[in-house]
Amino acid sequence: SQKIEQNSEALNIQEGKTATLTCNYTNYSPAYLQWYRQDPGRGPVFLLLIRENEKEKRKERLKVTFDTTLKQSLFHITASQPADSATYLCALGVQAGTALIFGKGTTLSVSS
């Protein structure tokens, strides 16, 4: 059956360190993968999209990698700050304009 797993439910790191979040999937052939940030009681906020033919994408302190052989995406936040504390969701899409399938999310806590 199709499955998306985000490596852990919670990740605690110190300010200034790099946070690395993992998204693994099975029995999917996604065309693209998106990462979102979700704060409690709020809607997901789009961060980055990476396509199946791209290895890496960057935006400011954020970096996403996509390995279709390993069926894995890594999401990095460098020089993390307490304001980065939130739940981060990965979502797979198999075709433009169709459903996104979400993982359960990893809750990141950055302490000062």
Partner 1 sequence: EPEVTQTPSHQVTQMGQEVILRCVPISNHLYFYWYRQILGQKVEFLVSFYNNEISEKSEIFDDQFSVERPDGSNFTLKIRSTKLEDSAMYFCASSEVGTGISYEQYFGPGTRLTVT
User: Does residue 62 interact with partner 1 by CB under 8 A?
Assistant: no
> Which residue stretches of the chain are H helix?
none
Cβ 50 vs Cβ 57: under 8 Å: yes
Question: Do 33 and 73 meet the contact criterion of CB atoms below 8 Å apart?
Answer: yes
In the complex, least distance from residue 65 CB atom to partner 1, rounded to whole angstroms: 18
State the distance between the two ends of the chain, measured CA to CA, in whole angstroms. Answer: 41
Query: Which residues, 63 to 102, sit near partner 1 by CB under 8 A?
Result: 89, 91, 93, 96-102
Which one of the spans 14-22, 34-42, 59-67, 70-78 is the region binding partner 1 (CB under 8 A)? 34-42
In the complex, which residues of this chain contact partner 1 (CB under 8 A)?
32, 34, 36, 41-46, 49, 89, 91, 93, 96-105
